[in-house]
Amino acid sequence: MNSPVKKKVLIITYYWPPSGGAGVQRWLKLSKYLPEFGIEPIILTVDENFASYPLLDETLLADVSPDLKVFKTKSFEVLDWYKKIKKTKKVPYGGFASSSQDIGFVEKTMRFVRGNFFIPDARIGWNKHALKEALRLISAEGIETIITTGTPHSTHLIGLKIKQKFPKMHWFADFRDPWTDIFYNDLLMQTALAKKLNAQKEKAVLEQADSILTVGENLIEILLQKSSKISKEKFILLQNGFDPADFQQLPNKIKTDSFKIVYLGTASIDYPFQSILEAIDLLTAAEKLKIKLEIIGSFDFETDQLFEKYGKSFSITKKAYIPHDEVPAQLNSADLLILMIPKTKNDKSITTGKIFEYLAIKKLILGIGPIDGDAAKIIQQTDSGAFFTANDVESMKEFIQANLKGSTATFRGVEQFSRRNQAEALAERIME
């Protein structure tokens, strides 16, 4: 008996393995499970030999099915010039706006050029090549549905051109982050004209996309304000999630005489590390307890100085970015996981990808950030821990103290965030 014909969907995404980081995993994992629900995803991405990736993670290639059609194109990357001028091999996060220290003349000039001549972002050099290949694939594969995902939000402009050429095409625009409201735009020294052009592009995408996917309720409210022509019914909440397959066969946690706290992700001046370090310092003095804090990810000079200061009172271990396949075991070694929301504009809308991997491992979570934000709501709804404002150091200390001998968190409803369940829900919307 022949299997039913699957509906073909073209997914246009800049980030794809061997790119690392959280941004790549959303569509990598959804593409893994969509075929179970009648959808044949077809991936259009940038050739890694031409791409500007801040991180690489070859281990993610294991999730790319040999049956998945993946098409890659070359790109013109302005960030290559940045690397040459700065004499660095690293690509900055946020398109020239990632450095908190180096803000001399060259850096200011680069930020101004990026903010005013590459709108909406520095990856727009991929669009010409991607659009050409997308049009070929639409014709060759008989595609009637496309998905564009940002950041980079320049990818949505590919969808906009396709929609204008094929008005009956159903276009899902996936917003993993805000566009004009994204935190680093304030660092790009944009002129009034550049800001206006950027807002016009954002508005055109929001108005002409048939459906808009977002990762949180607060982001929906932000985007709704961009045009009176879009209604809330156009939005589909598709939060980030976790792949249950990544959390199978975990090693047993080794028993020690210390309490281990783990933080995974960026550790920069925008993150309220002072608060949790003070709380742990107070707790160490009060309990005479061995506490080990492990930081896994990237960190800047200012935050490293904090680690040096508090590392005299308790153990602090720093590890660089690790491949994604090593993350579950590292999280499983913890007694408590720290989640931080950076102190930026629209921080209530931030729901980092690691939240869901924290939930998957079912270890108690201490969150720091807006207590009425999307991340805090997820922690509350799943009964997986507690959230505190950055200045509530005493409550953080008391929370850890109350859970030293084990937590009573229930992690209810965590399964709703599995990538397979999310793929099933998305497939239903695609089939409508």
Which amino acid belongs to residue 291? I
Does residue 160 contact residue 127 with C-beta atoms inside 8 Å? no
Q: Pick the range with the lowest mean pLDDT from 115-124, 230-239, 340-349.
A: 115-124
Q: Pick the range with the lowest mean pLDDT from 24-28, 156-160, 190-194, 231-235.
A: 190-194
Q: Higher confidence at residue 163 or residue 53?
A: 163
Q: Higher confidence at residue 289 or residue 199?
A: 199
Same domain, 212 and 291: no
Same domain, 215 and 276: no
Q: How many Cα atoms occupy the beta-carbon half-sphere of 165 within 13 Å?
A: 15
In a domain, 420, yes or no: no
- CA nearest to 135, candidates 17, 67, 7, 127: 127
Give 77's pLDDT tier (boundaries 50, 70, 90).
confident
Helix (H) or strand (E) holding 421: helix 419-431
> How far is residue 14's CA from residue 350's CA, in Å, rounded to a whole number?
21
> How far is residue 57's CA from residue 17's CA, in Å, rounded to a whole number?
7
Which domain-ending residue is among 183, 213, 238? 238
Q: Is the pLDDT of residue 88 over 70?
A: no
- pLDDT for residue 96: 43
- pLDDT for residue 184: 73
Q: Is the pLDDT of residue 84 over 70?
A: no
Q: What is the pTM assigned to this prediction?
A: 0.88
State pLDDT tens for residues 95-143. 444 444 456 666 677 777 676 667 898 899 999 999 999 999 999 999 9
- pLDDT for residue 99: 46
Give 1's pLDDT tier (boundaries 50, 70, 90).
very low
- CA nearest to 378, candidates 325, 328, 339: 339
Mean per-residue pLDDT, 321-345: 90
The CATH number linked to 254 is 3.40.50.2000
Q: Is the pLDDT of residue 185 over 90?
A: no
Which domain-ending residue is among 205, 238, 271? 238
- pLDDT for residue 106: 65
Q: Pick the range with the lowest mean pLDDT from 21-25, 44-48, 86-90, 338-342.
A: 86-90
Instruction: Judge if the upstream peptide bond of residue 328 is cis by omega within 30 degrees of 0.
Output: no
- Give the residue carrying structure tokens 């398109």: 95
- pLDDT for residue 312: 83
- pLDDT for residue 80: 59
Q: Which string of DSSP letters, residue by residue, matches 15-74?
A: --TTB-SSTTHHHHHHHHHGGGGTEEEEEEEE-TTT---S-B-GGGGGGS-TTSEEEEE-
> How far is residue 431's CA from residue 39's CA, in Å, rounded to a whole number?
9
Q: Pick the range with the lowest mean pLDDT from 53-62, 90-99, 137-146, 379-388.
A: 90-99
Which amino acid belongs to residue 411? F
Same domain, 232 and 88: yes
> How far is residue 350's CA from residue 422's CA, in Å, rounded to a whole number?
19
Give 66's pLDDT tier (boundaries 50, 70, 90).
very high
Q: Pick the range with the lowest mean pLDDT from 145-149, 204-208, 292-296.
A: 292-296
Which domain-ending residue is among 211, 238, 265? 238
Give 50's pLDDT tier (boundaries 50, 70, 90).
very high
Same domain, 133 and 269: no
- pLDDT for residue 21: 82
- CA nearest to 146, candidates 277, 8, 21, 269: 8
Total domains, the chain: 2
Report the 10 Å Cβ neighbour count for 211. Answer: 18
Domain assignment of residue 270, given as a range:
244-415
- Within 58-121, strands assigned E span 69-73
Does residue 130 contact residue 50 with C-beta atoms inside 8 Å? no
Rg value, the chain, Cα = 22
Q: What is the distance, to the nearest Å, from the Cα of residue 5 to the centroid of all Cα atoms in its chain?
A: 33
Does residue 411 contact residue 383 with C-beta atoms inside 8 Å? yes
Q: Where are the alpha helices (DSSP H) in 260-315?
A: 273-287, 301-310
Same domain, 280 and 204: no
- The Cα-based distances of 244 to 64, 107, 113, 207, 247 in angstroms read 16, 42, 43, 36, 5
The chain-wide mean pLDDT, for the chain, equals 88
